[in-house]
Amino acid sequence: MNQATSTPSDPKAASDKVNLLDFDRQGLRDFFAQLGEKPYRAEQVMKWIYHRLEDDFGKMTDVGKALRAKLEASCYVGPPKTLFDRAAADGTHKWLLGMDGGNAIEAVYIPEPTRGTLCVSSQVGCGLNCQFCSTATQGFNRNLAASEVIGQMWVAAKHLGNVTHQNRRITNVVMMGMGEPLLNFDNVVTAMSLMRDDLGFGLASKRVTLSTAGLVPMIDKLSETIDVSLAVSLHAANDELRTELVPLNKRYPIAELMGACLRWIERRPRTSITFEYTLMKGVNDQPEHAKQLIKLMRKLPTGSAKVNLIPFNPFPGTRFERSDADTIRAFQTLLLNANVLTMLRRTRGDDIDAACGQLKGQVLDRTRRQAEFRKRLDQGQGVVHAS
């Protein structure tokens, strides 16, 4: 791909036509009913959109001519525009996607030997102000539409599918990009239902993970609404420190958060919750912190909690530092010895600022990049590959 497929002022998007990427299966069926079409036609079109990644009604060969004309008049398939895409040395791939009003968000693909994970954004910026996250310094701009959330996956799947010499598939999605997904509940649920749906991307519930800083009532609502996996950004197991790092903790302290986690597990007895813990030098990485974390994890039924240790990823202007390798290992060993399932997340894609919490970097120098993008366009070079 690596091409500007359309200009930011896309005539399709500028019209008052409906973007089909905003609908889950039921929404699409309802929309087709409004058009006076049979609901199964909606499912036929859905397969074209998500299985064949086709955005041109004209190429949907088993859709009758009359319906195609009707669709062209009333709607479109509008994924976000790729402003840039870039691959890191380790195969991590990042897309900078243009939204309206000059906003841009990012999606990141992380290939591993047995799976390929796409990290998806839910908001432009974020309002939660977690002290160690670069997105926070950007402030909150707006929620993404469902089409902009699922559109990230559509763009990435289409791009990766076009890489013929490698088998690169999206097997997992994590809502761990920019934003707090539970503050954009409806649109995120619509997008995740398309990730889960057999006529959409068809991923199992274990493979679609929503990560939250801990909005307790919304965790309960989520568990009643859709079958996906839950990750909780914990980062500290005592309220004083957690409130400092994740200000939302003041509103929903650890005991309440663990209550919501317990209720989640009760509803889904055979699943587990991932607790993310970003390790920052001298802040939350000491043996006493590990002991507090162990105690907290014991409040959940055996096997239902996993800890994901994330070495802090630095960004310009941050006061935090990554913990030393020895400290990280010692912290992990304490947890493992206490029989707490613990994984250490290997830092990926940091040479392109695609690692957790680094997505702000891209938005910060968006202006420069956009200027370059426009310059290349002006020079008649369609190719906007940034690496």
By CB under 6 A, name the binding residues for ligand SAH. Answer: 130, 132-133, 176, 180, 211-213, 233, 276, 278, 310, 312-313, 356-357
Active site residue 75: no
Residue nearest to ligand SAH (CB): 357
Reported as half-sphere exposure (CB side, CA atoms, 13 A), residue 258 has a value of: 16
In this structure, the number of other CB atoms found within 10 A of the CB of residue 304 comes to 19
Catalytic member of 37, 75, 106, 119: 106
Q: Min. distance of Cβ 316 from ligand SAH in angstroms?
A: 11
Measured N-to-C along each axis, helices 325-337 and 287-297 cross at an angle, to the nearest 10 degrees, of: 30
Sequence-separated (6 or more) residues with CB below 8 Å from residue 68: 57, 58, 60
Minimum CB distance to ligand SAH smaller for 63 or for 182: 182
> Could you give the CA distance from residue 97 to residue 373 in angstroms, rounded to a whole number?
13
Q: Min. distance of Cβ 24 from ligand SAH in angstroms?
A: 22
Indicate the SS3 state at residue 235. coil
Minimum CB distance to ligand SAH smaller for 2 or for 103: 103
> Could you give the CA distance from residue 169 to residue 160 in angstroms, rounded to a whole number?
7
Q: Min. distance of Cβ 221 from ligand SAH in angstroms?
A: 16
CB 384 within 8 A of CB 5: no
> Could you give the CA distance from residue 342 to residue 339 in angstroms, rounded to a whole number?
9
Minimum CB distance to ligand SAH smaller for 25 or for 345: 345
CB 386 within 8 A of CB 369: yes
Active site residue 54: no
Q: Min. distance of Cβ 260 from ligand SAH in angstroms?
A: 14
Minimum CB distance to ligand SAH smaller for 49 or for 126: 126
Instruction: Please name the helix (run of DSSP H) or strand (run of DSSP E) that holds residue 46, with its range, or none.
Output: helix 39-50
Q: Min. distance of Cβ 308 from ligand SAH in angstroms?
A: 8
Q: 């005991």: which residue's tokens?
A: 255
* One-letter amino acid for residue 168 of the chain: R
Minimum CB distance to ligand SAH smaller for 310 or for 384: 310
Both tokens of 318, joined, read 């941050």
Supply φ then ψ for residue 121, to 5 degrees: -90, 155
- Active-site amino acid positions: 106, 356
